[in-house]
Amino acid sequence: MPHDEPAPLSMVEVQRSVAAELDRIGPVIDDLGRRFTDAGHEIALVGGPVRDAMLGRRHNDLDLTTSAHPDETERLLKGWADAIWDMGRDFGTIGCRKGEWQVEVTTYRSESYDPSSRKPDVAFGDTLAGDLGRRDFTVNAMAVRLPGREVEDPYGGILDLAHRVLRTPGTPEDSFSDDPLRMMRAARFAAQLGFEVDASVVRAMTAMAERIDIISAERVRDELVKLIMSPFPRRGLTLLVETGLAERVLPELPALALERDEHHRHKDVYEHSLTVLEQSIDQEERLGGPDLVSRLAALMHDVGKPRTRRFVDDGTVTFHHHDVVGAKLTRKRMKALRFSNDEIDAVSSLVELHLRFHGYGSGEWTDSAVRRYVRDAGDQLTRLHVLTRADCTTRNRRKAESLRRTYDDLEARIDRLAEAEELGAMRPDLDGNQIMEILGVGPGREVGEAYRHLLELRMDDGPLGEERAREELLAWWAQR
């Protein structure tokens, strides 16, 4: 995946892109436009779909805005849509599906936050211009009236899009007061689109960073996930750190910017972590595509370093046990942001395991140690491969090549053992029922202890076979 900035667009490119996209989605928007205008209402394609059409980005999720109120919108969609849902009715939104298209139609509106509230107050508006004026950025404050396809751009969004810059329709202070989450969206759009953020927007984000505290953890998490899963996450994360927003939503990240002493006794952990993130993204074909767990693990893998940094008398610096401390910090932060338990377990496990490879030396591990590496990684083994390789950011080519060859050797050994021993389903040679039958005991603590003993033997010696496993089990039982 490229990490370079995209080039500016020409107006001709913008016009050509939007015309082609409107033709592609024409069978849906033209028909829907006539349906609403025949009933005496205005309707327009708006926001992200218009912006993405101008960027040549295609998707089948369409956002429209209308003068019709939700009940009337629902009535007009009945008989046209294949399915209708109204979970967003309180916010003026009726959703539907038409063939392969997902469509959301929202009544003209304005919304704002009470300084102490986590939820917006919604009021319906009566003009398209008023609706566009309440949107977050000029590139999202454009519309295409239907069915005539006239472009409405009252705030210069087309020019900003061509120049790849994010500005707000009004003052950024007013915009962020209305919805503080827009500060997170500024960073997210910078990461998604590769846009610059206007200096006035950056100043407002910095001055108003504490306003993000009224936004729910779930909404902050969703924006953070979109940012991290974007093509240019470094751009968005850097903006969060520089404006002070990261201090409030992901404080472990700015904490990585450890003070560097005059002798440069340790590398810049913050910049290193962003580079590891980018290098993990470059390997995502191994994971089948963009992968949130892998990206979060790369970003968080060194968050234990600030807590564990120690200066030694000989002038070196150490970070002993930063893997274990980092895993605990990662788990705590992800819980606070309301990530799922599966995501929390996966990411924190990878953070705890990220140093394990460095005990491999130049290949001195026994087969037993390799088996344990595979067992401890579990279903995160491929992600651990990605993280470990991405964690090499040295500019010393000889050292980097040596690390790569050594990890190649470890992966090859894992593959050989996996083929011979079915490492992916590593279990003792006897199951619980067999253990109970051989020992003549019922379910209980002894069975679990016997199972773990046989598993340790399996790790040390590889597959034993049922006969030897029986002998080892009986010998262990006799010694108890």
Q: In this structure, what CATH number is given to the domain that contains residue 323?
A: 1.10.3210
439 in a structural domain: yes
261 in a structural domain: no
Residues 155 and 175 in one domain: no
- Residue 316 pLDDT > 70, yes or no? yes
Q: What is the pLDDT of residue 118?
A: 56
Q: Which of 127-136, 238-247, 293-302 has the lowest mean pLDDT?
A: 127-136
Q: How far apart, in Å, are the Cα atoms of 136 and each of 118, 217, 277?
A: 18, 20, 28
- Residue 362 pLDDT > 80, yes or no? no
Q: 270 or 426: whose pLDDT is higher? A: 270
Calculate the CA dihedral of residues 166, 169, 173, 178 and round it to 10 degrees: -110
How would residue 97 be classed by pLDDT, with cut points 50, 70 and 90?
A: very high
Residues 95 and 126 in one domain: yes
Instruction: Find the CATH number of the domain harbouring 211.
Output: 1.10.110.30
How would residue 449 be classed by pLDDT, with cut points 50, 70 and 90?
A: confident
Residues 421 and 456 in one domain: no
- Residue 416 pLDDT > 50, yes or no? yes
How would residue 262 be classed by pLDDT, with cut points 50, 70 and 90?
A: very low
**48 is in which domain, residue-wise?**
1-163
Q: What is the pLDDT of residue 250?
A: 98
Residue ending a domain, among 394, 409, 425, is 425
- Residue 255 pLDDT > 70, yes or no? yes
- Residue 261 pLDDT > 50, yes or no? no
**Three-state secondary structure string covering the chain:** CCCCCCCCCCHHHHHHHHHHHHHHHHHHHHHHHHHHHHCCCCEEEECHHHHHHHHCCCCCEEEEEECCCHHHHHHHHCCCCCEEECCCHHHCEEEEEECCEEEEEEECEEEEECCCCCCEEEEECCCHHHHHHCCCCHHHCCEEECCCCEEECCCCHHHHHHHCEECCCCCHHHHHHHCCHHHHHHHHHHHHHCCEECHHHHHHHHHCHHHHHHCCHHHHHHHHHHHHCCCCHHHHHHHHHHHCCHHHHCCCCHHHCCCCCCCCCCCCHHHHHHHHHHHHHCCHHHHCCCCHHHHHHHHHCCCCHHHHCEECCCCCEECCCHHHHHHHHHHHHHHHCCCCHHHHHHHHHHHHHCCHHHHCCCCCCCHHHHHHHHHHHHHHHHHHHHHHHHCCCCCCHHHHHHHHHHHHHHHHHHHHHHHHHCHHHCCCCCCHHHHHHHHCCCCCHHHHHHHHHHHHHHHHHCCCCHHHHHHHHHHHHHHC
Residues 407 and 464 in one domain: no
263 in a structural domain: no
Q: What is the pLDDT of residue 263?
A: 45
Residues 455 and 337 in one domain: no
How would residue 420 be classed by pLDDT, with cut points 50, 70 and 90?
A: low
Interior angle at CA 309, CA 303 and CA 314, nearest 5: 145
Residues 113 and 129 in one domain: yes
Taking a C-beta distance cutoff of 8 angstroms, is the pair 109, 124 a contact?
yes
Q: What is the pLDDT of residue 44?
A: 97
Q: How many domains does the chain have?
A: 4
Q: Enter the tokens of residue 135.
A: 């949107």
258 in a structural domain: no
415 in a structural domain: yes
Which of 18, 20, 26, 24 lies closest to 52, judged by CA? 18
Q: What is the arithmetic mean of pLDDT over 110-121?
A: 61
Residues 104 and 204 in one domain: no
188 in a structural domain: yes
Q: What is the average pLDDT score of the chain?
A: 89
Q: 15 or 388: whose pLDDT is higher? A: 388
Q: What is the pLDDT of residue 115?
A: 62
Taking a C-beta distance cutoff of 8 angstroms, is the pair 77, 104 a contact?
no
Q: What is the pLDDT of residue 113?
A: 57
Q: What is the arithmetic mean of pLDDT over 301-328?
A: 90
d(CA 139, CA 42): 21
Regarding beta strands 165-166 and 196-197, do their DSSP bridges make them parallel or antiparallel, or are they unpaired?
A: parallel
Q: What is the pLDDT of residue 116?
A: 61
How would residue 3 be classed by pLDDT, with cut points 50, 70 and 90?
A: low
Q: Enter the tokens of residue 142.
A: 């454009």
How would residue 424 be classed by pLDDT, with cut points 50, 70 and 90?
A: low
Q: Report the amino acid identity of residue 69.
A: H
d(CA 68, CA 107): 6
Residues 156 and 225 in one domain: no
Residue ending a domain, among 407, 425, 443, is 425
Q: What is the arithmetic mean of pLDDT over 313-335?
A: 92
Q: 285 or 359: whose pLDDT is higher? A: 285
Q: Report the amino acid identity of residue 416.
A: R
- Residue 10 pLDDT > 80, yes or no? no
Instruction: Find the CATH number of the domain harbouring 90.
Output: 3.30.460.10
30 in a structural domain: yes
Q: What is the arithmetic mean of pLDDT over 47-75?
A: 93
Interior angle at CA 449, CA 447 and CA 451, nearest 5: 70
Q: Report the amino acid identity of residue 344.
A: I
77 in a structural domain: yes
Residues 221 and 284 in one domain: no
Residues 29 and 122 in one domain: yes
Q: What is the arithmetic mean of pLDDT over 245-269?
A: 77
Residue 61's beta-bridge partner residues?
A: 102
Residues 76 and 186 in one domain: no
Residues 43 and 157 in one domain: yes
Residue ending a domain, among 148, 163, 178, is 163
